[in-house]
Amino acid sequence: MHTHSHAHFSELASRTTRRIALSLGLTGVFVVVEIIAGLWGNSLALLTDAAHNFTDVIALGLSWYALWLATRPSHEGKTYGYHRAGILVALLNSTTLVLISLGIFYEAYQRLIAPPEVNAPILIGVGLLAFMINLGTAWLVKQGSEHDLNLRSTFLHLMGDVLSTLGAFAAGLIIYFTDWNWLDPLVSILIGALILWNAWGILRQTVHILLESTPENIDMKTMVDDLLQVKGVLGVHDLHVWSISENLRMLSAHIVTDDIFISAGLPIQQEINEVLAHRYNIQHATLQLECQGHHSDILYCNIHHRHHAHKHD
C-alpha cells in the first residue's frame, strides 16, 4: 500500500514538474520583453511586473526542485524523507513577496510625488500580452495547488502577476485618454498591497507548520472524545499532532487500556487508526498502549518540565 502511494505521488509530481517547467520557460522569456518595454515606455507598472515576474522564475524553479526532492525515498539520514522541502520553498517565496511589496511601495511613492510621463500605447500593448501569458502560466500551476503549500505559494506569485498586468493594461487605457500619469504608480501600490496580503497568508501557514503546531482544522478536544469512544480505550495522554507538509499529518499518543495481551490490543490500534484516517486525514500514527495505573494524567506532554526534572534527579 505504501509503495503504491509513493508511486502514485511520483507520477503526480512528474506531471506537475513538466507543467512548472513550461511555465518557467514562458515566464523567463517574457521577463526580458517586459524589462525592455518598461524602460522604453518609462512605466513603473511594467517594471514592477517584470520584477515580480523575475521572482516568479525563481519561485517556479524552487517549486520544481522541491517537488523533485519530495519524490526521493526516506533513508537513515532523512527518516521523514524530503517533504519539508516544499514548506521551506513556500517560506522563501512568501518572504520574497513581502520584500518585493515593500520595494514597490517605496518606488511608487517617489513617482507619486513627481509623476513621470508614461508611454501609454506601450503600457497597453505589453500589459495585455503579459496578462495573457501570466494567466496561462498560472493555469498550468493551479492543478494541485489547493492541497500543496509549495504549489500554492507559486500559484499566488503568478496570480499576482495576472492581476498586476490587468491593472497595468487598465491604467494604460486611462492614461492614453486622460494623461493621468499618476495612475501608473497608484496601480503599482494596489498591486503591492494585494501581493503583500497573499504573501502574509502563506507565510503564516509555513511558520505554523515549521513550529509543528496542531493543524488548524483539527479540534483536539473533539479528537480525544472520538478516541475515547473506541472500545477498549480508557484514556489518552502525551498526545501530539503535527504536520510534515500541508497534507502529511502525524500523531503520537499513549493509549490507556485494560491489562491485556499485545494481540488483544491490535484491534484497538486498528480502530484508532481508522478513526484518525477518515475523520482527521492522519495516515501515520504512533500509538503506545499502556495499562491502567502506569500512566500520566497530562494530556499534552510537557517536555520542558520533564527535561528540568531529569536534570535535578
The rounded radius of gyration (Å) of the Cα atoms in the chain is: 26
User: In the predicted model, is pLDDT for residue 67 greater than 80?
Assistant: no
pLDDT grade, residue 282 (50/70/90)?
very high
Return all residues near 259 (Cβ < 8 A) that are at least 6 apart: 291, 292
Mean pLDDT of all residues in 191-203: 82
Following CA atoms 158, 164, 165, 166 in sequence, which dihedral angle do they give, to the nearest 10 degrees? Answer: 110
Mean pLDDT of all residues in 51-73: 78
User: In the predicted model, is pLDDT for residue 205 greater than 90?
Assistant: no
Q: For the ranges 207-221, 222-236, 299-313, which has the lowest average pLDDT?
A: 299-313
On whether the CB atoms of residues 88 and 62 are closer than 8 A, the answer is: no
pTM comes to: 0.69
Mean pLDDT of all residues in 168-188: 80
What's the pLDDT at 310?
45
Mean pLDDT of all residues in 150-175: 77
Q: For the ranges 95-109, 265-279, 299-313, which has the lowest average pLDDT?
A: 299-313
What's the pLDDT at 312?
45
Q: For the ranges 18-32, 87-101, 130-144, 298-312, which has the lowest average pLDDT?
A: 298-312
What's the pLDDT at 302?
61
What's the pLDDT at 11?
53
What's the pLDDT at 170?
81
CA dist 184 and 153 (Å) reads: 26
The percentage of residues in the chain with a pLDDT greater than 70, rounded to a whole number, is 86
- Average pLDDT value over all residues in the chain: 79
Domains of the chain: 2-210 (1.20.1510.10), 220-311 (3.30.70.1350)
pLDDT grade, residue 275 (50/70/90)?
very high
Mean pLDDT of all residues in 116-143: 78
AA identity, residue 269: Q
Give the range with max mean pLDDT: 141-145, 194-198, 286-290: 286-290
Give the range with max mean pLDDT: 7-16, 45-54, 90-99, 210-219: 210-219
The percentage of residues in the chain with a pLDDT greater than 90, rounded to a whole number, is 18
Estimate to the nearest angstrom the gap between the alpha carbon of 126 and the chain centroid.
30
3-state secondary structure the chain: CHHHHHHHHHHHHHHHHHHHHHHHHHHHHHHHHHHHHHHHHCCHHHHHHHHHHHHHHHHHHHHHHHHHHHCCCCCCCCCCCCCHHHHHHHHHHHHHHHHHHHHHHHHHHHHHHCCCCCCHHHHHHHHHHHHHHHHHHHHHHHCCHHHCHHHHHHHHHHHHHHHHHHHHHHHHHHHHHHCCCCHHHHHHHHHHHHHHHHHHHHHHHHHHHHCCCCCCCCCHHHHHHHHHCCCCCCEEEEEEEEEEECCEEEEEEEEEECCCCHHHHHHHHHHHHHHHHHHHCCCEEEEEEEECCCCCCCCCCCHHHHHHHHHCC
User: In the predicted model, is pLDDT for residue 104 greater than 60?
Assistant: yes
User: In the predicted model, is pLDDT for residue 313 greater than 60?
Assistant: no
